[in-house]
Amino acid sequence: MSNNQGTIPVLDLSTARLEDGSFNPVFIDQLRDAAHRVGFFQITGYGAGEHQVAELFDAIKRFFDLPLEERLKLDNRNSPHFRGYTRMGTERTQGRADAREQLDYSPEGEPVVDYPADQPYWLLKGPNQWPDAVQPDLRERAMAWADLMSKVGQELLSGIGVGLGLPEDYFDEPFQGDPHWMGKLVHYVGGVVEEAGDQGVGIHADYGFVTLLLQDQVGGLEVLPPGATEWLPVEPIEGALVVNLGEMLEVATEGYVTATVHRVQAPPPGVDRYSVPFFWSPRLDAVIDPVPLSPELRAESRGLTDDPNNPMLASFGANMLKGRLRAHPDVTEKYYPEMLAK
């Protein structure tokens, strides 16, 4: 067999725990294998309400169907905190436009007015922008989704810890208090953004810990697991969550867990695709130390992906800020021109 991974594993989160509340060793083995070998998997049985997924997608479609003028009332260029609506084709990955528009949100917060110069990531705190006046259900459904995803993210991270031979609560501390998760409501189109070509979103790894992605049935997400030579499609499974692991976990495990690179192919002209990535993330001031791995696991660690254009940072806030500044150069230029130069 070649190094290609064949398929993306599918796990059932409702089997994660035994009746006594402890983790099920069978599930933990599947989870560790998926996290190490592929860095991507899908989960079912994660506790969504019966109509929750359908109602969330319905609200998202109605939002992107609003007149552009309404969407632009939430323009992210009016947010120094990188929140709100990003117009079609204006987000960039690998220096090229992505064929998508999106609404980004994080925990509601007051802007931090005074922060130390060496902790610029506090600027990411602030208020979200919602279309409450014309579509109040969007905020409700998106925030309810974030609540559910926070629980799922926490449970998976506990399981990953156990899979690494660590205590169940090993990763809890950096997430206590004010975890800075981020949700995105995303709409891809084909044939509209000329510069994007077939780039729905360009090749990248996620910068956080655990990404939980809801995708519709259109498809287009592709991943390149470690050692693979061909891109592997993540086939849509209705209602399932796609899970992938981010750079902070790769750094913490010296590459035992991989932040697998992925991309989205733009849909064919005239086809819409909707997705909801959720990045389960720690406090902005969290600094992640290397985790103590057993000699057996250490022997299988791959080391860190060495990309001089994308240094990995142990500070979550610094890593997230780096990602936001790059993805939204227009916002960066408007509010933080001195950081653009860097």
Ligand X SMILES: O=C(O)CCC(=O)C(=O)O
Residue ranges that bind ligand X, judged by CB under 6 A = 184, 186, 201, 206, 213, 215, 221, 262, 264, 275, 277
Sheet holding 232-233, edge to edge: 199-204, 261-265, 221-224, 232-233
Residue 76 in contact with residue 328, Cβ under 8 Å? yes
Choice from 98, 104, 155, 206 touching Fe ion (CB under 5 A): 206
DSSP state of 17: B
**Residue nearest ligand X, CB atom distance:** 275
83 touches, from ligand X, Fe ion, none (C-beta below 5 to 8 Å by class): none
CB of 270 to ligand X, least distance (A): 19
What secondary structure does DSSP assign to 217-265, as a single string?
SS--EEEE-TT-SS-EE----TT-EEEEE-HHHHHHTTTSS---EEEEE
- Identify which range of 8-16, 147-155, 198-206, 264-272 contacts Fe ion by CB under 5 A: 198-206
Nearer to ligand X by C-beta: 157 or 201?
201
CB of 269 to Fe ion, least distance (A): 24
Nearer to ligand X by C-beta: 300 or 307?
307
CB of 99 to Fe ion, least distance (A): 15
Nearer to Fe ion by C-beta: 155 or 206?
206
28 touches, from Fe ion, ligand X, none (C-beta below 5 to 8 Å by class): none
- Identify which range of 102-110, 203-211, 234-242, 316-324 contacts Fe ion by CB under 5 A: 203-211
Q: Does 91 bind Fe ion (CB under 5 A)?
A: no
Nearer to ligand X by C-beta: 14 or 94?
94
- Characterize the bridge pairing of strands 100-105 and 84-86: antiparallel
Burial status of residue 235 (CB atoms within 10 A of its CB: 0-12, 13-18, 19 or more): middle
Residue 102 in contact with residue 189, Cβ under 8 Å? no
Contacts 24+ apart (CB under 8 A), 307-313: 310/205, 312/247, 312/250, 312/251, 313/251
- Characterize the bridge pairing of strands 92-93 and 84-86: unpaired
31 touches, from Fe ion, ligand X, none (C-beta below 5 to 8 Å by class): none
DSSP state of 73: G
CB of 205 to Fe ion, least distance (A): 7
User: Which of 297, 282, 264 lies closest to 189, judged by CA?
Assistant: 264
CB of 278 to Fe ion, least distance (A): 11
Nearer to ligand X by C-beta: 221 or 240?
221
215 touches, from Fe ion, ligand X, none (C-beta below 5 to 8 Å by class): ligand X
Rounded (10°) angle between helices 136-163 and 25-33: 100
Nearer to Fe ion by C-beta: 206 or 250?
206
CB of 31 to Fe ion, least distance (A): 20
Instruction: Show the DSSP H helices in 48-177 as ranges.
Output: 52-65, 68-71, 136-163
Residues that bind Fe ion (CB under 5 A): 206
